[in-house]
Structure 1
């Protein structure tokens, strides 16, 4: 007997991550391109709320434009928009919502590469650069960075800062188990700075070379770590590490 059941092809979207600044002068629509594979877009949702076509977004052929007016109304953090199609699985767009309206706290971006790029390693050692993209100095004591990964074990872990422009002894590391595990992340290392780290002037950058490992030196599987980069030679903008000033997200996309 011949199986006449048709194959369902999943649709996809590009990009799957984006960022939006609530500062009025920086607000911009987000353009998304759909690869429909024979399907049609049935809805775009933010959680259980359905976005309104023509108001919150527009469609032209395979192009969807998420309107800046809608994005500006969202809270700082990560807004995940789900694209549902007539058949197949849904696709998601993770939008990092930031607000650089206040220039008193400054703003920055994170660049990173991995010191060890092998999937299996007993040490995770990201190389990190913070760049002040604002117009005022940033007090490093107000800055937190998060590297997300899967712990893969319950063994205790240790943190070291090998070198930094702000002084290795002025860099701290705290391991945090996430209340709700996400894809490729159930733990994050939160990197902080003491008051002795001083400030980062507008336009300046600071490098941080860190390592962390399990107390028994058993291997991590880096291939399923959210913040891991297979790039191991030069700095590049990296949105899978997040940065905060006084608890407010300034850079990156949370998992």
Structure 2
């Protein structure tokens, strides 16, 4: 990718609605509004008591011309299926009138990137797991997203600082802070942060813990991603995602210091790609910040988007 941060000058940021211009923000509709018939593709429904439980923690995060769908892994699942449908008039379109489009089957990781979307449209997604015996789970609760074109002003306004804490060969303990030099608030839920390191093979989100998060650590989610093509100083990265309750990075303000710890069995902190030996907060362009799916700060070491998520 080799993305660079273009400017730190404050600039006006246009408010972006997830719906078309002039309409109100979309409220997440009830799952029951989506189901007007039980005759859904493959007879998978939300209320099929005989089917195993559906995947949970389904999230759809919009970028420009793409939506990234993630969910919690299902124990015993051999693969997953993702379906998409259109959201109209602040509710889900009738299943009977608009059958789900099967986007992908045979997905082995708990993530899917939909690049067949159009900016300005609103999409709904549901996920089900396929177990080793071929049985399919119920469909997940819906997740919605509206891809929008990125604001160049936001691309120029976000800056990431970091410092390193008491870290050892088996512990990484960075603190990060996101600055917003623009003139409009930026939703943390539109932001992702990637920290690259070595020794991540076999690690999962359970190897990451948070403390000193000003908006509560329950509003931050971590994924460990193993890179298919390891680079110098990086065979993995931890990706931090934020939910809507995390709030905003205010205009001219900052997110506040967030400290997280990665426990690993091997590696050297000083050799990690994203390591910076700053003992006080300073800009670090080797930690990458994404806004609405696109990189806006930092340079990655060379990443494939189908790397394995743990």
Deviations for 1:210-250, whole angstroms, at most 9, x for unmatched residues?
11213xxx35321321001222x210011010101011111
Could you state the TM-score of these two structures normalised by the residue count of structure 2? 0.46
Could you state the TM-score of these two structures normalised by the residue count of structure 1? 0.56
Name the counterpart of 1:159.
Answer: 208
Name the counterpart of 1:254.
Answer: 300
Q: CA deviation at 1:186?
A: 1.2
Q: CA deviation at 1:198?
A: 1.1
Matches within 5 A, 1:1-255: 19=4, 21=6, 102-103=152-153, 107-117=157-167, 120-151=168-199, 153-154=201-202, 156=204, 158-206=207-255, 207-214=257-264, 218-231=265-278, 233-255=279-301
Matched residue SS, 1:169: helix
Matched residue SS, 2:207: strand
Structure 1 segments of 4+ aligned residues over 2 angstroms from their partners:
17-23, 99-107, 152-157
Matched residue SS, 1:103: helix
Matched residue SS, 1:230: coil
Q: CA deviation at 1:121?
A: 2.7
Q: CA deviation at 1:185?
A: 0.9
Contact 2:196 2:272 in 1 (8 A): yes
- Name the one with the larger strand percent: 1
Q: Note closer, same or farther for the CA distance 1:122–1:162 as it changes in structure 2 (3 Å cut).
A: same
Q: Note closer, same or farther for the CA distance 1:100–1:134 as it changes in structure 2 (3 Å cut).
A: farther
Contact 2:3 2:298 in 1 (8 A): no
CA distance in 2, matches of 1:131, 1:196: 19
Q: Note closer, same or farther for the CA distance 1:22–1:123 as it changes in structure 2 (3 Å cut).
A: closer
Ranges in structure 1 where 5+ consecutive residues have no aligned partner: 1-16, 27-98
Ranges in structure 2 where 5+ consecutive residues have no aligned partner: 12-148, 302-310
Q: How many residues align?
A: 159
Contact 1:106 1:136 in 2 (8 A): no
Q: CA deviation at 1:22?
A: 9.0
CA distance in 2, matches of 1:137, 1:160: 27
Matched residue SS, 2:189: helix
Contact 2:165 2:174 in 1 (8 A): yes
Deviations for 1:38-89, whole angstroms, at most 9, x for unmatched residues?
xxxxxxxxxxxxxxxxxxxxxxxxxxxxxxxxxxxxxxxxxxxxxxxxxxxx
CA distance in 2, matches of 1:135, 1:196: 21
Deviations for 1:156-215, whole angstroms, at most 9, x for unmatched residues?
55111112122211111110011221111110000110111011111111221111213x
CA distance in 1, matches of 2:253, 2:5: 23
Q: Please provide the CA RMSD for this pair.
A: 2.9
Contact 1:140 1:197 in 2 (8 A): yes
